[in-house]
């Protein structure tokens, strides 16, 4: 379970869907750097594990909407806190990595 929710893209997907249901293209635009393929694979994996629902609306053309499940809602707050920490910590982490690489 930790491998699933600890994945870079899964966390961002769950945090984004925590704001409300989204269509695929909305998720793609909101998650910087994710490819269509990675987004598709991660959404399928999250759906398979009961953390995301996929609803097909029979419009013309059909549209698909993703939302988090009650199970994912239970972990939403800690994931959001982790995502916020990660955004703040990136400069320090990159600096530490560079210092380490320069020493070795």
* Fold of the CATH domain 2-103: Arc Repressor Mutant, subunit A (1.10.10)
Question: What pLDDT was estimated at residue 104?
Answer: 87
The phi and psi torsions of 31 (rounded to 5 degrees) equal: -105, 100
For residues 81 and 64, give the distance between their C-alpha atoms in angstroms, rounded to a whole number. Answer: 28
For 42-84, the pLDDT digits (tens) are 999 999 999 999 999 988 888 899 999 999 999 888 888 888 8
Identify which of 36, 55, 34, 42 has the alpha carbon closest to the alpha carbon of residue 14.
42
Question: What pLDDT was estimated at residue 59?
Answer: 84
Identify which of 26, 95, 93 has the alpha carbon closest to the alpha carbon of residue 64.
26
Question: What pLDDT was estimated at residue 2?
Answer: 72
Question: What pLDDT was estimated at residue 13?
Answer: 94
Mean model confidence pLDDT for the chain: 91
Q: Where are the domains of the chain?
A: 2-103
């Amino acid at each position: 379970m930790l491998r699933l929710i600890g994945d870079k893209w899964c966390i961002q997907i769950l945090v984004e869907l925590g704001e409300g249901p989204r269509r695929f293209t909305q998720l793609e635009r909101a998650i910087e750097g994710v490819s269509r393929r990675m987004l598709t694979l991660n959404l399928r994996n999250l759906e398979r594990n009961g953390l995301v629902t996929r609803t097909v609306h029979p419009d013309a053309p059909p549209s698909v909407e993703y939302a988090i499940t009650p199970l994912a809602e239970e972990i939403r707050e800690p994931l959001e806190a982790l995502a916020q920490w990660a955004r703040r910590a990136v400069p320090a982490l990159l600096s530490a990595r560079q210092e380490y690489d320069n020493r070795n």
